[in-house]
Structure 1
Amino acid sequence: MLVADDDDDIRLALELLLVSNGYRIIHAQSPEEVSAKLRSECPQLMLLDMNFSRDTTSGAEGLSILDELSDAPFPIILMTAWGSIDLAVEGLKKGACDFFEKPWNKDKLLNSIAQQLELAKIKQEHAGYRELLSTNRKSTNANPTTEWISQSAAMNAVEQLVEQVAQTDANVLILGENGTGKSLLAERIHQLSARQSFPLISVNMAAIPDNLFESELFGHQKGAFTDAKQNRVGRFQLANKGTLFFDEIGSLPLHLQPKLLRVLETGQYEVLGSSQTQQADVRLISATNADLNQLVTEQAFRQDLLYRLNTIVVNMPALRERLDDLDALAQRFIAQFCEKYKKPIRELTSNALNKLKSHSWPGNIRELSHVIERAVLISREQQITVQELLLDSTTNEHSVVLQPLEQAEKQLIEKAMQATGGNIIEAAQILDISRNALYRRLEKHKLA
């Protein structure tokens, strides 16, 4: 909180009052120092004296500062020893939130500060929800929630566990290969939970640059760092009272893990640029295809963080382990893509279905989705045939074709890219190489 007053005694008195009530204070004793402080700090609230050294009664200096701070992201409360209704009205017109006289009533002052901070928090939350709705509306419409399919024994076991734990607030760790539907399972848990009427916010941990990690999760205030041109609401605040889903949690760099561990242990965090501690109220679901225990052994993942994440562990089976669901999954994708491309509903021939069941599915359900989408696009008749699936009839998980190593590498990369729809991160994970290594091989084989 910034206290701007030219009187040393006033600033000291306000500091004693406010610090004893949990606030952190920074000082400014002139209009010039106000400008200097705001270039390096972004307070949550400002107490602004109306009169500095120029004169003692007009309030012109305070009004001039208000003009300069017309778009300030924080509330401003005016104060003066020379109370005037006209001056107060003028200050409020210029953007001040409240006005009090010196000497002040400490209870009224503290109440005013608390009210303005709460109002600012509500405005920030509303801005965050508007941001979330505007950025996600298109993707929500393009990818409607699909029905949950659990006809196989493997998925029945998953469903039974989910029904047991969904109503609790226990943290859940979902394990499984790429493309198995871990994010859909997280959505399923949220839908069955007591938090279902509040947001489910997803975060791809592999896609967050290190230098934006805290801003993305905890938010920032305008001016908190060089590129912070406006307030940003963090994911913990967007997910308040709802569910926060951390996808690819195993990719979180070791040096960032303590920042996440702190909020999981204490439930507390600070928005960048703010000194006020926020309280997190979220249910946490995480997912990864990595072996976190192995990463702990390799000292690439903190064991205490793993303990916070894996209260309940759910293993999502690979598609090859739930073939009893394959027919229903294929029919769902056929209906989805026929609607998307405005085509009559297609049916799979029995040979095509058998072909699907004999495929090894290294890309799991995501690969199945791509295969069906392509088949719907190229099919001309009412039925989808084996030929239209465009699956390699000679390849299965047990066969190895002897060929030059360079050619085998190229085929593996092509298959991984096809299975993941061209997603570099996921293809690199399937191939168990780094993204940079995959980029180099794509260039070498002229696949980029």
Structure 2
Amino acid sequence: MQQSKGLVVVVDDDEDIRLALSMLLSNQGYQVLEADGQVELARITAQHRPGLVLLDMNFSRDTTSGLEGLDILHQLNQQGLPTVLMTAWGNIELAVKGIQAGAADFIEKPWNNQKLLQLVDNYIHRPVSVSKSQRKPEPSELRQSPGSDWVAESASMQALESMVEQVADTQASVLILGENGTGKSLLAQRIHKFSERRESPFVSVNMGAVPDNLFESELFGHVKGAFTDARDNRKGRFELAQYGTLFFDEIGTLPARVQPKLLRVLEIGEFEPVGASTTYNADVRVISATNADIENMVATGEFRQDLLFRLNTFVLVLPPLRERLDDIIPLSKNFVDKFATKYAKPKITISDEVVALFQGYAWPGNVRELSHVIERAVILCRETEILPAHIMLPEKASALVPEDGGISDALRPLDDVELDMITKALKKYQGHISKAASALGISRNALYRRMEKHGLEKEDFDIE
């Protein structure tokens, strides 16, 4: 007799749905119990402890609000039972409410059999290291600690912190939007740190730094001999991040030819290394980030809309430094302490003149620029106080802040700002690609892609 893989409870008022799921799961070796509503479910959970509950969102009360499903979910959360929500309405907003309320995941009806089985297998056989039985961080633990690169004293960052508290301990995908240098990768690590996957790997891949011909190998791995330079087997990022979090930075640079393959992994949870015939399961939480106008890329056909839907269950917008003035001084003090320690300097303070200078500057490079400015100042400082003479900012720095406090810059299209910054960097470094890319905080490959996007030619800058 085949040993049961685990107990799954199917909760749905539609008998046909219950029968179909029961047959599908039973054929795969699961023990399945059915419940047509809250009363029958309570009876089952009083006698058994299921490995997973598949819960319909709508019952007899109405057809679309999902209120009954959310009520039942609350009770299951109190019992510590992992729950995957089911909805026939393709209502992402409703599914997000469920995830915010503590559901592990959601699936739409009609479901894809392969994806559903993978989902069930992931949650029933997930290692203890990512179990929800671990102590969850208290909301107060999400606050910044002294000396941290993460500061959230401004109103805009406090609002973001509130969203992080809701999003972190879910399985939902997250898309982080924000300008270069705002700290998107730091935010992704923060979400992972306060998730149930925190004991498993956090794996980051900068899409803008991966050569076009190596994307598949980078994401899915390859076997020896798969292509000319494949001298050994290599694990891809999905395999390295198993049971943890996979962070795609600069997701907007993902080539069109690779997008369907990434979509397939996100939809069915399976992938094959390049040159291999073996299929691997992927149990990862995906967080993505971009400074590009991703909606416009969808409209122009550069980015697949169905892939975006898989990436943006939650969208978090990281504000630029000019919109979080209350954070500039705490961040500055943290960076001073950090670099004073790094360069074996005594305790250093920041003069009032420097404070005023910082608060009057627009910080186009955001937190990354602030960090670089502070590091140079600490190196130059021979006393115990950073003075304006130690600060290296562009001439007429205050003129970079418009009279409306930065609103005009904020309303400029991102593409225009990007083109302007690339042009200035290339001119400043006489067309030296490596130096310009470093100043912009991106890779050479990413800079070349952006130049092509904006129609910039090498000859225009006498590039080496």
TM bracket, shorter-chain basis = 0.5 to 0.7
Q: Give the Cα–Cα distance (whole angstroms) in 2 for the partners of residues 384 and 174 of structure 1.
A: 34
Normalised by the length of structure 2, the TM-score is: 0.59
> Equivalent residues in 2 for 1:25-174 (5 A)?
146-174=148-176
Residue in 2 that maps onto 1:414: 428
> Equivalent residues in 2 for 1:267-346 (5 A)?
267-346=269-348
The reply to whether residue 366 of structure 1 matches residue 368 of structure 2 is: yes
Question: What's the Cα RMSD here?
Answer: 3.1
> Equivalent residues in 2 for 1:170-209 (5 A)?
170-209=172-211
The reply to whether residue 263 of structure 1 matches residue 281 of structure 2 is: no
Residue in 1 that maps onto 2:400: 397
Which one-letter code corresponds to 2:167 in the other structure?
Answer: V
Q: In the TM superposition, what whole-angstrom CA distance separates every residue of 1:176-207 from its partner, at most 9, and x where no partner exists?
A: 00000000000000000000000000001111
Q: Against the structure 1 CA distance between its residues 425 and 272, is the aligned structure 2 distance closer, same or farther, given a 3 Å change threshold? A: closer
Q: Which runs of 5+ in 2 are unaligned?
A: 1-146, 404-421
Residue in 2 that maps onto 1:43: none
Deviation at 1:392, TM superposition (A): 3.3
Which one-letter code corresponds to 2:428 in the other structure?
Answer: E
Q: Give the Cα–Cα distance (whole angstroms) in 2 for the partners of residues 318 and 221 of structure 1.
A: 42
Residue in 2 that maps onto 1:254: 256
Which one-letter code corresponds to 1:414 in the other structure?
Answer: K
Q: Give the Cα–Cα distance (whole angstroms) in 1 for the partners of residues 342 and 234 of structure 2.
A: 34
Q: Give the Cα–Cα distance (whole angstroms) in 2 for the partners of residues 441 and 364 of structure 1.
A: 28
Q: Against the structure 1 CA distance between its residues 346 and 313, is the aligned structure 2 distance closer, same or farther, given a 3 Å change threshold? A: same
CA contact (8 A) 1:366 1:420 kept: no
Q: SS of the residue aligned with 1:331? A: helix
Q: Give the Cα–Cα distance (whole angstroms) in 1 for the partners of residues 346 and 460 of structure 2.
A: 41
Deviation at 1:421, TM superposition (A): 3.4
Deviation at 1:243, TM superposition (A): 0.1
Q: Give the Cα–Cα distance (whole angstroms) in 1 for the partners of residues 267 and 427 of structure 2.
A: 41
Q: SS of the residue aligned with 1:372? A: helix
Which one-letter code corresponds to 1:258 in the other structure?
Answer: P
Q: Give the Cα–Cα distance (whole angstroms) in 2 for the partners of residues 441 and 423 of structure 1.
A: 22
CA contact (8 A) 1:428 1:438 kept: no
Q: SS of the residue aligned with 2:151? A: coil
Deviation at 1:397, TM superposition (A): 2.8
**Corresponding residue pairs, total:** 295
Q: Give the Cα–Cα distance (whole angstroms) in 1 for the partners of residues 425 and 170 of structure 2.
A: 46
Residue in 1 that maps onto 2:45: none
Q: SS of the residue aligned with 1:246? A: strand
Q: Give the Cα–Cα distance (whole angstroms) in 1 for the partners of residues 307 and 293 of structure 2.
A: 14
Deviation at 1:425, TM superposition (A): 4.3
Q: In the TM superposition, what whole-angstrom CA distance separates every residue of 1:152-199 from its partner, at most 9, and x where no partner exists?
A: 111111111011011000000000000000000000000000000000
CA contact (8 A) 2:181 2:369 kept: yes
CA contact (8 A) 1:286 1:309 kept: yes
Q: Against the structure 1 CA distance between its residues 425 and 223, is the aligned structure 2 distance closer, same or farther, given a 3 Å change threshold? A: closer
Deviation at 1:387, TM superposition (A): 1.9
Q: Give the Cα–Cα distance (whole angstroms) in 2 for the partners of residues 355 and 165 of structure 1.
A: 36
Which one-letter code corresponds to 1:357 in the other structure?
Answer: Q
Q: Which has the larger radius of gyration?
A: 1
Deviation at 1:317, TM superposition (A): 0.4
Deviation at 1:410, TM superposition (A): 5.4
Deviation at 1:424, TM superposition (A): 5.3
> Equivalent residues in 2 for 1:346-385 (5 A)?
346-385=348-387
Deviation at 1:254, TM superposition (A): 1.2
Q: Percentage identity across aligned positions? A: 52
CA contact (8 A) 1:320 1:364 kept: yes
Q: Give the Cα–Cα distance (whole angstroms) in 2 for the partners of residues 163 and 179 of structure 1.
A: 23
CA contact (8 A) 1:420 1:427 kept: no
